A and B are shown apart, each in its own frame.
Chain A
Amino acid sequence: MNRAGRLTASGAIIAALLVGGAAIVGTAPANDGVLAPFAATAVIGEPVSAREFDAVVHGVSLTKTVNAEYSLTSSTVTSPGYWVVVDLTMTAHAEAATLSFAQLRVGDYSYSVSDFAPAPSLVGYSFGSDVPVRGPLVFELPASAFESPDAADATLVLPARQSPVLDTVPTIELDLASLVDGAAETVTIDSASTPDAGGAE
């Protein structure tokens, strides 16, 4: 092959590699899709199991005012919007787990869990293996969140860590819109505790 032929062949190979590379990059799934967590969905009252813990939501209430009963005192917190109080039991599997990264999602908006629940709370405290712990998760949402049509299809997501890459994430479907009319004046919350076996606390 003469010099011109070799240059042409090299150019063709380089062009083919570039086109092939571009095709692979263009059609490859995005990182978000490859590393996304798996949602394990459930509704209120239905147990859901993830890799690190089991969870069951017993109920959800809406209120303007939360009264937190600490060991020596109590504190009343009022919101211009609403407090969403989730009554939940979690049971860690092998290692201690926490619900510090819980979020309430309404449409495109995510609301992080508040951290003022009396200690030991499900937020900011890790609970050990096979010991069920029942307590409140509290979220503050603006009133406008309940006017959104997405409020009827809100979800409570319970990742075990901040970036739950390729991990199972319990996702509980909640109809927040239906709670507005029955919103309580005040909801009192206590520390998380382990119920007696059989469910009676």
Chain B
Amino acid sequence: MSEPATVETLPRRSWIRHNALALALLVAIVPGLIGVLVIFPLGEVAPAVQAVRSVAAGDPVEFEGYEWTLTASKEFPGQGLSENQVPTGTSLIAAIIEAKPVGSAPGEAASCDITLTSRATGMERSWPRISNLAEVNYRIADDSQSYCQLTNRDPFNLEVVFLVPPKSYPGATVDLALTGDDATVLRFSLPSEQG
């Protein structure tokens, strides 16, 4: 006749089996905590990935239902407010971008934003376009417009002007992005030969 089983003689459950529930909860909770406390906050502050499409001067590029071509650009050194209304110590850079609708499907954007970016000093610097061209005594060509409107699907010449420090022209680019969506930027190089 065998001995009755007692507490001391019962086979001990393994540590893993004993703590299985707690371990399962840890496996589920710890990655969740890391996600909530670290990954999500970092994702919120991380800059969005931006695709930059470099375009050589004079080359056409298709984007958002239009074919874009930077056709001309020029620098106008400031001679003083009493001379050409451009302050000394600054320059105007003007650029003309030709936009022709292509294909039948219009893009979703209604307009585009344009900035000038220069790396002449070794540091990337940028300037918004001048909205009031009368301030700097600049008159756009008769067949140009100073605003970017993409809704009516007509071809247009976009003439944009920037007030910049001197010597910003070499290596500068005109950056074009859709208003409200800068996931893709067209980066037009300025031609070395101005005109």
- Chain A interface (Cβ < 8 Å from any Cβ of B): 71, 93-96, 119-120, 125-131, 191, 193-198, 201
Contacts and interface: CB of A to CB of B under 8 A. Distances in A.
Which A-B residue pairs are the 6 nearest by beta carbons? Answer: A128-B127, A197-B89, A129-B125, A130-B165, A194-B87, A197-B88
A71 B134 contact: yes
Contact of B89 (A96, A127, A196): A196
A195 B162 CA distance: 16
Interface of B: 78, 80-81, 87-90, 115-116, 123-128, 131-132, 134-135, 162-165
B124 A196 contact: no
Contacts of A195: 87
Nearest to B80: A196
Contacts of B165: 129-131
Given A71-B134, A94-B123, A94-B125, A197 B87 contact: yes
A21 to B, nearest CB: 14
B136 to A, nearest CB: 9
A131 B165 CA distance: 6
Given A119-B132, A125-B131, A196-B89, 11 more contacts: A71-B134, A93-B125, A94-B124, A96-B128, A120-B131, A126-B128, A129-B165, A194-B163, A196-B81, A196-B87, A196-B88
B81 A201 contact: yes
Contacts of A194: 87, 90, 163
B142 to A, nearest CB: 22
A125 B115 CA distance: 14
A194 B165 CA distance: 11
A56 B78 CA distance: 23
B126 A96 contact: yes
A93 B127 CA distance: 10
B126 A94 contact: yes
A131 B80 contact: no
B131 A131 contact: no
Contact of B132 (A95, A120, A129): A120
A193 B132 CA distance: 11
A87 to B, nearest CB: 17
7 contacts: A71-B134, A119-B132, A128-B163, A129-B164, A195-B87, A197-B88, A198-B89
Given A128-B163, A129-B165, A130-B165, A193 B135 contact: yes
B123 A131 contact: no
Nearest to A197: B89
Given A71-B132, A128-B164, A198 B126 contact: no
Given A128-B162, A131-B164, A96 B88 contact: no
Contacts of A93: 125
